[in-house]
Amino acid sequence: MLSEPTAKEIIWPPTKGDLEELYVRQRLSAAKIAKVYGLNYKSEKTPESTVLLPS
């Protein structure tokens, strides 16, 4: 389980395993996952399309 990740431990873009750990197991929202990766957005909806639906 990831606890207090640092920039050295987590690299953008997230791997499928990283997203599964953060979103499914830890139940973090897309906005909180974005914060883990150091991403900041003006709109609260932007992380949903950026983090959960990577192209």
pLDDT digits (tens, 9 = 90+) for 15-39: 889 999 999 999 999 999 999 888 8
- Cβ count within 10 A of residue 43: 9
User: Mean pLDDT throughout 5-11?
Assistant: 61
User: Mean pLDDT throughout 32-54?
Assistant: 85
pLDDT at 7 over 60: no
pLDDT at position 1 is 53
User: Structure tokens of 26?
Assistant: 């830890």
Give the global pTM. 0.71
Instruction: Give the CB-side neighbour count of residue 23, counting CA atoms within 13 A.
Output: 16
